[in-house]
Amino acid sequence: MKEEIPIEQYDYELPEELIAQTPLPRGESRLMVIRRDKGTVEHLQFSDLPDLLAKDDLLVMNDTRVSARRIIGLRANGLPVEVMLISRLDSLQYKALMKPAKSFLKGHVVTLQGPNGARCTAHIADIDETGARTLLFESEAEADKVDYWGEIPLPPYIHTQLAEDDEERYQTVYSKNRGSAAAPTAGLHFTTDMLEILRRKGVGTAYVTLHVGIDTFRPVRSNNILEHKMHGEYAELGIHSASLINQTVGRVCAVGTTSVRTLETAAQGVADARVSPFLGQTNLFIYPGYQFKAVDSLITNFHMPKSTLLMMVSAFAGRDLILEAYSEAVKMKYRFFSFGDAMLIL
């Protein structure tokens, strides 16, 4: 008999009004604390985090920086088109999503509009199996210009766009490496002051890079999650961070599911340490039954129903405990998703 894990096992009821549309000031969100060993749930504030971590613990953070841009373009007939540059492939090419996409076939031309009447054109060089277009620009100078046009795209469930002068709120305070389609949102809660408090307490920090792909927001379409094909994302764990992780005598606490995915990818096939340095694509799919090798604790936000991220935290803390905690979060009107409240799983 074919093994099956129904996706309905990872569904829950969420009132739409609990989907956070705007961010609170950094550090002012609520923090739900789950203790796996006791099966308990506590309700604190994110500002309480330093009291929950100990000397010699290590926070592992994803230092990716959102580079995706939403730009208005023009079709050959002059009608507008929405172009979302997801990632830069090389000096002349970008991966992009377009709406309406059917208007653009391979070889077609799109004109992109920038500030103060600036314009440039690109050709559709390729269309992949997901419908994403490869845009080819005529020069590196034009490709460089559009890298900063338009606005940062927010997840589709957020309907209030950030003001241009507030775009940094959708970046972590430690973001550095451009290339992500979305922010690693668990990190949005941290302030520079909190990081300094943690440093003085003896909590270490290490950094990984995982560039979030747009597939993060696409739903799992299979009724059996074992049939789901995980998207690939670029991830990197450098030699220095790997050394810090392997030397940690306290807990390794991953900040966000992207850090978990990077660490657990870097742990595959390692016998004599937690992790080894890693650079490349990861398509690791973590769901209940997975045995964690590198991560002891996790800071994360509240995730969408039926999502691979909900499956990952269920693998870490147990499906029943997570769904119980989510039910309690709904009753207590926690804020959900990217701009929402946080959870610490110990």
**Least confident span in 15-24, 161-170, 309-318:** 161-170
- The CA–CA distances, whole Å, from 260 to 103, 129, 253, 284, 345 equal 39, 28, 9, 10, 12
For residues 16-37, average pLDDT? 97
- pLDDT of residue 43 exceeding 60, the answer is yes
Which is it for the CA torsion 339, 187, 47, 317, positive or negative? positive
Q: Could you tell me if 64 and 258 are in contact, meaning their C-beta atoms sit under 8 angstroms apart?
A: yes
**Predicted local distance difference test score (pLDDT) of residue 2:** 65
The two tokens of residue 206 are 């290490």
* For residues 208-220, average pLDDT: 84
Q: CA 298 from chain center: how many Å?
A: 14
Beta bridge partners of 300: 343
Domain residue extents for the chain: 7-66+165-345, 69-146
Q: Which tens digits make up the pLDDT trace of 129-153?
A: 888 999 999 999 999 999 989 999 9
pLDDT(220) > 90:
no
Q: Same topology for domains 7-66+165-345 and 69-146, yes or no? A: no
Concatenating the DSSP letter of every residue in 84-124 gives EEEEE-SSSEEEEEEETGGG--TT-EEEEE-GGG-EEEEEE
Residue 200 is predicted with a pLDDT of 98
Euclidean distance between CA atoms 141 and 138, whole angstroms: 9
Confidence of residue 165 (pLDDT cuts 50, 70, 90): confident
Residues sharing a CB contact under 8 Å with residue 301, sequence separation 6 or more, in sequence order: 185, 186, 256, 336, 337, 338, 340, 341, 342, 343
What per-residue confidence (pLDDT) applies to 340? Answer: 98
| pLDDT tens string 256-300 | 999 999 999 999 999 999 999 999 999 999 999 999 999 999 999
Average pLDDT over residues 64-88: 93
The CATH number given to 69-146 is: 2.40.10.240
Q: What CATH number does domain 7-66+165-345 carry, 3.90.70.10, 3.40.1780.10, 3.10.450.100, 3.40.630.30?
A: 3.40.1780.10
Burial pattern 12-29, b for ≥16 Cβ within 10 A else e, equals eebeeebbbeebbebeeb
What is the mean pLDDT of the segment spanning 191-210?
Answer: 98
Check the CA dihedral 276-277-283-284 and report its sign. Answer: positive
Stretch 190-201: mean pLDDT, rounded?
Answer: 98
